Amino acid sequence: MIFFLLVFVALYLIAFLLPLGLFFGFLELAKRGFSYDYFTSRNNNVAYALDVVGGVLYAEFFEFFFLTPKSKYRFIGNTKLSISAILGANKHDKESELNKNGYAWVRFLDWIDHDKSYGGHCRRPVVYKRNRSKENIELLKNVQ
């Protein structure tokens, strides 16, 4: 029961604070002189947050729609990686696979943003998987 209450509190805060956040974001943008770097950095952070939240909210759907039983990196239980990171990590890991919808979605993401499945928010887990450093492998173990 408390879970549902917390979800409603979070939704209320998002709805209430969204206009305030946008207002203060525009004030900061005006104070900095409408810097392109600040604007793109902020938008990238917002996009990443929405990507992670989407992966958490729709984990069961994405599991069904994009992954196979042989997929190594999962949406369920993952609260740290974005949708594109999980899809890219599964695509580029030789021991893992996606279904046809997953491969099509990765191609679509790569079409929008060149090599999105290797870059962007996905770059960290794929690069960490390849580097084999202790810290990087621990990160992969923590996010699965």
User: How far is it between the farthest Cα atoms of the chain?
Assistant: 51
Closest by CA position to 141, among listed 88, 81, 84, 97? 81
Residue bearing the bigger pLDDT, 31 or 116: 31
Q: What tens digit of pLDDT does each residue of 37-95 get? A: 776 777 777 777 888 888 888 999 999 999 999 998 888 888 878 888 888 888 887 88
Angle between helices 100-112 and 59-66 (to 10 degrees): 100
Query: Domain segments of the chain: what residues?
Result: 57-143
Closest by CA position to 121, among listed 51, 40, 38? 51
3-state secondary structure 66-134: HECCCCCCCCCCCCCCCHHHHHHHHHHCCCCCECHHHHHHHHHHHHHCCCCCCCHHHHHHHHHHHHCCH
Burial zone of 10 (CB within 10 Å; 0-12 exposed, 13-18 middle, 19+ buried): exposed
Per-residue confidence (pLDDT) for residue 115, from 0 to 100: 66
pLDDT-derived band at 144, boundaries 50, 70, 90: very low
Residue bearing the bigger pLDDT, 133 or 23: 23
What is the pTM for the complete model shown? 0.66
Per-residue confidence (pLDDT) for residue 90, from 0 to 100: 87
Q: State the average pLDDT over residues 20-25.
A: 82
pLDDT-derived band at 129, boundaries 50, 70, 90: low
Give me the sign of the Cα torsion angle 81, 87, 88, 92. positive
Q: State the average pLDDT over residues 17-40.
A: 78
